[in-house]
Amino acid sequence: MTGPVTYCYGQHAADAKPKLCQASGFDQFVEQILALPRARSKTDRSYICGPMRLNGDGGLHRCKADLLPRSWLALDLDGGSREEGAILLMRLADYQAVAWSTWRYTPECPRIRIVLFLDREVDGPEAVRLGAAFVGVVGAGLHSLKWDQSTHRGEQECYLPMAGAEVMRYAGDPVDVNAVLALAPAEPARERPETPDPYQALIMERGLFLREIAAGKNAIICPFASQHSEETSDTATVYLHPHHNGHRWGRIYCLHHHCADRQQEDYIRALGAEPRGVWRGQAGGPAPYDALPPVESYCGEVSQWGAQRHTESARAAPTGGEGRDPGRPYEPPSYPQIPPLAELRIAPAELHIARLTPQCVVESYLYADVAVLAGPGGTGKTTLALWEAVHIALGRPLYGLTVHTPGNVVLV
């Protein structure tokens, strides 16, 4: 394959919005990445990753959902014997590639990052299979070698050489993608569990289901994945089934900070449905969902349930709930109402005895409560804490302030 090579460049590990770059071919690609500034510490390392789709505002985020096909593959050798490491480097001579030692490299335990040129572009899932298969080919018989297969994912950082790293270039042939993939084991079919849960069915229909983690818990792709600024593990977003482990309703939990304030209503609407309709579909507990009350037009998007329920104007709620009348039409659950403002007023007697602050330890500075002393490493936090502890223990003025409650101090 000849043609442009696209990639993204991030200036440091926390750079979630790398720059989209392009080279005319693999040789120029190698020249470009080797010409980039080399870090002198681990925290300052720059990286490359697969090309990402531009957003509407012209920016991009490094995430799985926005990954584009690419014509290169990164490998990460994370250790092994000295002898087998040398054999591996000789085998790489058959391929068009570049390799460099990582910051933890030692001759006795080689740690090397490798970038291979491919004879055609591969997408995200194909690259993962290709990486696993190629490691089996180039590492055949080298049982001591340890590979970090996370770098096969295009959204994963591939850290560039640091100052003093040894760089090796190879002028062989591009990797024959189809030939190597033919050696890969067949990808197991992803099981799609049958479910009467409309929330989970929406996740299935949108292709967001990844795998079952445990009973009642699935790993999924977040409906807002395109807005995530960084990629974590495939279990960073999970769906918890209704009526499992004390959960009455199905829920999506996403650990990405972009979703920290999202409500379940946001996730459901992002899936193309109305929350009230989905929650009605889950309200029947373990009973069969064809016995549930009607779901009205606001849940029409949940097609396989909506079609059944639109045909009936009313249906009795399933029995099984304690105190539930099986002949009574279903009614949405009621929630506690906020008391009138007059009932929330504080009486003068309550105000008189209320403790407005915790016990004061140091005048206008420290109270018997949680406090935080924060700052970068090496700036004197421990020394300052020791200074304060001595003054509090001895009851002497601290920063000119009176120590009202001297006493013992424990440093953990």
Helix (H) / strand (E) containing 130: helix 124-138
The number of folded domains in the chain is 3
- The CATH number covering residue 118 comes to 3.90.920
What is the separation, in whole angstroms, between the first and last Cα of the chain? 60
Lowest mean pLDDT among 180-189, 289-298, 349-358: 289-298
- Per residue in 35-90, pLDDT (tens digit) is 999 998 888 899 999 999 887 677 788 888 789 999 999 999 999 999 999 999 99
Give the domain range for residue 368.
358-412
pLDDT at 313: 34
pLDDT at 322 over 60: no
Predicted structure pTM score: 0.50
130 shares a domain with 262? no
Confidence at 307, pLDDT banded by 50, 70, 90: very low
Q: How far apart are CA 231 and CA 411, in angstroms?
A: 37
Tell me: do 132 and 210 sit in the same domain.
no
Q: CA-to-CA distance for 388 and 173, rounded, in angstroms?
A: 66
Rounded to an integer, the average pLDDT of 310-332 is 43
Chain segment 260-271, per-residue pLDDT in tens: 888 888 999 888
Last residue of a domain, one of 153, 181, 209: 181
Q: Does residue 139 carry a pLDDT above 60? A: yes
Claim to verify: residue 87 and residue 27 sit in the same structural domain: yes
Looking at the structure, do residues 287 and 205 belong to the same domain, yes or no?
A: yes
Taking Cα atoms as reference points, which of 88, 85, 92, 89 lies closest to residue 106? 85
What does the pLDDT look like over 188-224, one tens digit per residue? Answer: 555 544 557 888 888 888 888 888 888 788 889 898 8
Which range among 275-284, 306-315, 361-370 has the greatest average pLDDT? 361-370
Predicted local confidence at residue 355, as pLDDT: 63
Q: What residue spans of 214-356 are helical by DSSP H?
A: 264-270, 275-282, 303-309, 341-344, 348-353
Residues 172 and 209 in one domain: no
pLDDT digits (tens, 9 = 90+) for 164-183: 999 999 999 999 999 999 98
Task: Let me know: does 310 contact 300? Beta carbons within 8 Å.
Answer: yes
Helix (H, G, I), strand (E, B) or coil at 363: coil
